[in-house]
Amino acid sequence: MDSGEEDRVTKTSSDPVAPSGEKAAEPVVWTRGLRMRYGTTDVLRGVDLRVNRGEVLALLGPNGAGKTTTIEILEGFRRRSAGEVRVLGVDPDDGDEAWRARLGVVLQSWRDHGKWRVRELLDHLGRYYAPYGTPHRPRPYDTDELLALVGLTGRGDAVIATLSGGQRRRLDVAVGLVGRPDLLFLDEPTVGFDPQARREFHDLIRRLADLENTSILLTTHDLDEAERLADRITILAGGVIVAEGTAEELARRVSEVAEIRYTLDGRPHTVSVADATAYVRELFARHGEAVGDLEVRRPRLEDVYVAMVREFESGRRTEAPSGLVEAVR
Ligand SMILES: Nc1ncnc2c1ncn2[C@@H]1O[C@H](COP(=O)(O)OP(=O)(O)OP(=O)(O)O)[C@@H](O)[C@H]1O
C-alpha cells in the first residue's frame, strides 16, 4: 500500500513556503505535490491543498477520486507515497498524541459499542482528551452540552444499538467533536440524514466554524450541501485538483451569463444576459405590471462540477487546468 514510499520528497523545513511551525496565519492543512500510489495505480498525482483557520473546505469528486485517501493521509492514518504535508503545523507521519488530540474525525459510521449507552461512550472517549485541554479550549466537551449540540438531548441513556440511523449519525458527529477539535474531518457526514437533520447539521457546522474557529474539511456528494456550507470548494478528479474557489467563483468560471425567465402579458420569455440587474430594471421600467413569474438563474456549482468531471472522465484532459485553478486562487 505504500509502494511509492521510495519516491518520497525530502522534507524541507527551511523552505520559505512551507509552514515550519504553527502560527495563527498559517494554513491548518497544507499539502504540496501530495501523491499516493496503491500498487501500480496512482490515486493522487500531485495535490496542493490548503485549509485556513476557521474555514470550511468541501472536497468534491466522483467515486474513487481519492477523497477518503486524502483525508486519511491528513489524519495520519495512511502514509503518503510522496509530497509535503502539514496539518496543524506538523507532518502527520510524525504526529504525536497531543497533535492527534486536536483532530476530530467523523468516519463513515460508528459500528462498535452497540451495547453501550450514548453517554457512557462519550464520557469514555472524552477522558482521553482531558490532558490536552487548555483554558482557551477546554477538553473534552461537557457531555450534556455535546448532546444538545448534535441534537441528541434526551438520548444520553439510550443503548447505542437502539438509535435510529440518523441518531447514530449524530452520535458519529458527537464522537468526532468530543475533544473540541481544532480541525474536524467529516467524510460524507450527512448520509442518512432526513432534511431537517441535514439543516440542523449545517447550522452546527457553521456554528463550529464561526464561533469556535474550528477548521473543517468535509467530503460530500451533495453539491447543495457544499454550496451552502463551504467557504471554499476543491474538486478532485483523476488524482489532481481540477477546480477550486468559492461556489460563486467556480460558477463564474463556467459562465458569466445569467438566464432570466419571465412572462409578459402571460407569454413566457427566456433570455441570457451578462448584467441581470440592469436587464430586470429595464424590463420593469418598460412593462411594469405586465411582467410576471420572474426568475433569475445563475450557473450553479452543479453545472461546474458536471462540466469539470465529465471532461476528465471522457479522457480529454489528463492534467489539471492550471489556468482555472490559478484563476480562482
Ligand atoms: N487500501 C487500498 N488499496 C488499494 N487501493 C485502494 C485502497 N484504498 C483505496 N483504494 C483505491 O483508491 C482509489 C481512491 O479511493 P478513495 O476511497 O480515496 O476514493 P473516494 O474519492 O473517497 O471515493 P468515494 O466517493 O467512492 O468514497 C479507488 O480506486 C480505490 O479503489
**Which pLDDT tens digits describe the chain residue by residue (329 residues)?**
444 433 333 333 333 333 444 556 789 999 999 999 999 999 999 999 999 999 999 999 988 899 999 999 999 999 999 999 999 999 999 999 999 999 999 876 656 778 899 999 999 999 999 999 998 889 999 999 999 988 899 999 999 999 988 888 889 889 999 999 999 999 888 887 888 888 888 888 988 898 889 999 999 888 888 988 999 999 999 899 988 999 888 877 767 778 899 999 999 999 988 888 999 999 999 999 999 999 998 777 888 788 778 777 776 554 444 434 433 33
Residue ranges, comma separated, of all CATH 3.40.50.300 domains in the chain are 1-102+213-252+301-329
Are the C-beta atoms of residues 181 and 214 closer than 8 Å to each other? yes
Residue 109 pLDDT: 61
Q: For residue 147, what are the contacts with CB-CB under 8 A and spacing of at least 6?
A: 118, 119, 122, 153, 155, 156, 174
Bond into 27 cis (ω within 30):
no
Ligand 1 binding pocket includes 65 (Cβ within 6 Å): yes
**Among the atoms of ligand 1, which is closest to the Cα of residue 39?**
4
Are the C-beta atoms of residues 220 and 65 closer than 8 Å to each other? no
Residue 10 pLDDT: 36
Using a 10 angstrom Cβ sphere, with 0-12 exposed, 13-18 middle and 19 or more buried, the burial of residue 181 is: buried
Ligand 1 binding pocket includes 38 (Cβ within 6 Å): yes
Give the architecture (CATH level 2) of 1-102+213-252+301-329.
Answer: 3-Layer(aba) Sandwich (3.40)
Ligand 1 binding pocket includes 63 (Cβ within 6 Å): yes
CA distance 3 to 244: 29
Ligand 1 binding pocket includes 35 (Cβ within 6 Å): no
Taking the centre of ligand 1 as the mean of its atom positions, its distance from the CA of residue 290, in whole angstroms, is: 56
Cα separations in angstroms, 236 against 135, 171, 309: 38, 29, 9
Beta strands 103-106 and 183-187 are parallel
**Among the atoms of ligand 1, which is closest to the Cα of residue 1?**
3
Ligand 1 binding pocket includes 56 (Cβ within 6 Å): no
Taking the centre of ligand 1 as the mean of its atom positions, its distance from the CA of residue 64, in whole angstroms, is: 5
Cα separations in angstroms, 294 against 59, 115, 252, 257: 34, 56, 22, 16
Ligand 1 binding pocket includes 43 (Cβ within 6 Å): yes
Taking the centre of ligand 1 as the mean of its atom positions, its distance from the CA of residue 74, in whole angstroms, is: 15
Q: Which protein residue's CA is at the shortest distance from atom 16 of ligand 1?
A: 66
Helix residue spans in the chain (DSSP H)? 67-75, 97-100, 118-129, 143-149, 165-177, 195-211, 223-229, 247-254, 276-287, 301-313, 322-327
Ligand 1 binding pocket includes 238 (Cβ within 6 Å): no
The DSSP letter of residue 299 is P
* Vertex 108 angle, CA 79 and 302, to 5°: 95
Taking the model in full, what pTM does it have?
Answer: 0.80
Q: Which amino acid is at 135?
A: P
Grid coordinates representing 8 are: 518520497
Q: Which protein residue's CA is at the shortest distance from atom 9 of ligand 1?
A: 69
Ligand 1 binding pocket includes 77 (Cβ within 6 Å): no
**Among the atoms of ligand 1, which is closest to the Cα of residue 72?**
18
Q: Which amino acid is at 223?
A: L
* Listed residue (244, 249, 198) closest to 58, CA to CA: 244
Ligand 1 binding pocket includes 74 (Cβ within 6 Å): no
Ligand 1 binding pocket includes 67 (Cβ within 6 Å): yes
Are the C-beta atoms of residues 233 and 57 closer than 8 Å to each other? yes
